[in-house]
């Protein structure tokens, strides 16, 4: 079996709501890359990448990275030998985890379709059918988010993650207290600073948010402030989650060695795909740290792929934030959305990633193509 063709689409997808996220603000639209790998046996695989410029890089870069640097090492090769293909991608191009995640996703999709089994069967089999779903409260208008959260609570959602650190500390405390006041204690509150605090002020700020009883506090300080992360883990009762501090398995190992997190957030866009995400998870699990399924701004294809990884990984036990297609995009690119019901994402059961792409929707959102 051989890879014959790689079709790349850079999309600009309109969104419904403004998001303030600590290090950056999102409004009007989100760019992402959707690719299709075609083989000589008529089986296609799809993949998706999303990069956020203040987090990891740009979507234009992802598009260019695959088009110019990864395409030549993939064309004519066997898509079933995924570790070999990914090692060649790593040798051809340093970093660029989002581009590599999208390529690997499409290779897994091809293998799953070939074997007629869902992706999770290829990576060890399923531990769970559904994943608890976390929605991020990040609208600068907190009252709009409270109304949405009330509606979601009525539908069975229980996990809300509040984005803090982009407003003055007093404003953050006011938002947290409004949430507890309006939504009560019947929900699981998580707090994400997206690196928003300076190391010298972090401990004092976080002591003030602990009384709101968050399940965890995510990435309070810049990604390289490992000593401060360790200090916060030791000083606070609330578990600290590393997000931006851990992209690669090597960073997961450093975090464990430095005791710089109690939980690790895994994103395929950070690790560079499922195989490396499994390594991050193995390191965390061995050290006794549970994991969480995070996202950047990717849509249904990438989230479905990630849900297979979580389904097959018992230690990724703190849920996922796979809410973009249903709650943020005006329109995704799937013929049928991955079901979200009663506060849970349902793991796809079809062969491969288990999604059907609506190529007309891709064309509608497309701003660049290479094939
Ligand atoms: Mg985060």
Distances in Å between the alpha carbon of 370 and those of 2, 71, 85, 196, 221?
19, 11, 21, 37, 39
| Residue 18 bears catalytic tag | no
Reported in sequence order, the residue ranges of the chain that DSSP labels E, i.e. its strands, are 3-14, 19-20, 25-26, 29-39, 44-49, 130-132, 134-137, 159-163, 188-192, 217-218, 240-242, 263-266, 291-293, 340-341, 344-346, 366-370
* pLDDT tens per residue across all 371 residues of the chain: 999 999 999 999 998 876 666 566 667 889 999 999 999 999 999 999 999 998 889 999 999 999 999 999 999 999 999 999 999 999 999 999 999 999 999 999 999 999 999 999 999 999 999 999 999 888 888 899 899 899 999 999 999 999 998 889 999 999 999 999 999 998 999 999 999 999 999 999 999 999 999 999 999 999 999 999 999 999 999 999 999 999 999 999 999 999 999 999 999 999 999 999 999 999 999 999 999 999 999 999 999 999 999 999 999 999 999 988 888 888 999 998 878 888 999 999 999 999 999 999 999 999 999 99
What confidence score (pLDDT) does residue 25 get? Answer: 67
| Residue 100 bears catalytic tag | no
254 C-alpha to ligand 1 centroid (Å):
19
The residues spanned by each domain of the chain are 3-116+358-370, 122-346
299 C-alpha to ligand 1 centroid (Å):
17
What confidence score (pLDDT) does residue 19 get? Answer: 67
Angle at 159 between CA 155 and CA 165, to 5 degrees: 130
243 C-alpha to ligand 1 centroid (Å):
5
What confidence score (pLDDT) does residue 22 get? Answer: 58
Domains 3-116+358-370 and 122-346 share a fold: no
The superfamily in CATH containing domain 3-116+358-370 is Enolase-like, N-terminal domain (3.30.390.10)
Task: Give me the catalytic one of 31, 100, 161, 267.
Answer: 267
The superfamily in CATH containing domain 122-346 is Enolase-like C-terminal domain (3.20.20.120)
Q: Which residues contact 296 (CB under 8 A, 6 or more apart)?
A: 50, 51, 52, 55, 56, 98, 267, 269
Q: Which residues contact 21 (CB under 8 A, 6 or more apart)?
A: 138, 163, 166, 194
193 C-alpha to ligand 1 centroid (Å):
7
Q: What is the pTM of this model?
A: 0.96
What confidence score (pLDDT) does residue 339 get? Answer: 81
Hey, what are 116's tokens? Answer: 């007629």
Task: Give me the catalytic one of 100, 113, 163, 270.
Answer: 163
266 C-alpha to ligand 1 centroid (Å):
10
């Amino acid at each position: 079996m051989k890879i014959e063709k790689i079709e790349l689409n850079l999309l600009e997808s309109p969104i419904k709501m403004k998001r303030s996220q600590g290090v950056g603000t999102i409004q009007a639209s989100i760019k992402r890359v959707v690719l299709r790998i075609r083989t000589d046996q008529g089986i296609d695989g799809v993949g998706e990448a999303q990069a956020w410029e203040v987090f990891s890089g740009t979507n234009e870069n992802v598009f260019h990275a695959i088009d110019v640097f990864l395409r030549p090492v993939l064309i004519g090769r066997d898509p079933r030998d995924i570790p070999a293909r990914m090692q060649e991608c790593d040798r051809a191009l340093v970093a660029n985890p989002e581009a590599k995640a999208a390529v690997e996703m499409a290779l897994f999709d091809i293998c799953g379709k070939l074997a007629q089994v869902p992706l999770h069967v290829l990576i060890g089999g399923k531990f769970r059918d559904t994943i608890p779903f976390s929605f991020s409260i990040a609208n600068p208008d907190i009252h709009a988010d409270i109304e949405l959260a009330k509606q979601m609570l009525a539908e069975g959602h229980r996990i809300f993650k509040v984005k803090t650190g982009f407003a003055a500390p007093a404003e953050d405390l006011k938002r947290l207290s409004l949430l507890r006041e309006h939504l009560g204690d019947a929900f699981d509150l998580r707090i994400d600073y997206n690196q928003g605090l300076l190391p010298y002020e972090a401990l004092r700020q976080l002591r003030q948010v602990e009384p709101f009883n968050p399940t965890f506090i995510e990435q309070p300080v810049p990604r390289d402030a490992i000593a401060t992360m360790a200090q916060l883990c030791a000083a606070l009762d609330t578990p600290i989650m590393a997000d931006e501090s851990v992209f690669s398995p090597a960073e997961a190992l450093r975090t464990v060695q430095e005791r710089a997190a109690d939980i690790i957030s895994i994103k395929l866009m950070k690790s560079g795909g499922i195989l490396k995400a499994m390594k991050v998870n193995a390191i965390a699990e061995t050290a006794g740290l549970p994991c969480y399924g995070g996202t950047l701004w990717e849509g249904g294809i990438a989230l479905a792929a990630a849900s297979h990884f979580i389904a097959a990984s018992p230690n990724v036990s703190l849920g996922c934030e796979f809410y973009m297609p249903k709650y943020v995009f005006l329109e995704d690119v799937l013929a049928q959305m991955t079901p979200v019901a009663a506060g849970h994402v349902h793991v796809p059961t079809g062969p491969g990633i288990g999604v059907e792409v609506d190529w007309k929707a891709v064309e509608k959102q497309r701003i660049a193509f290479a094939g």
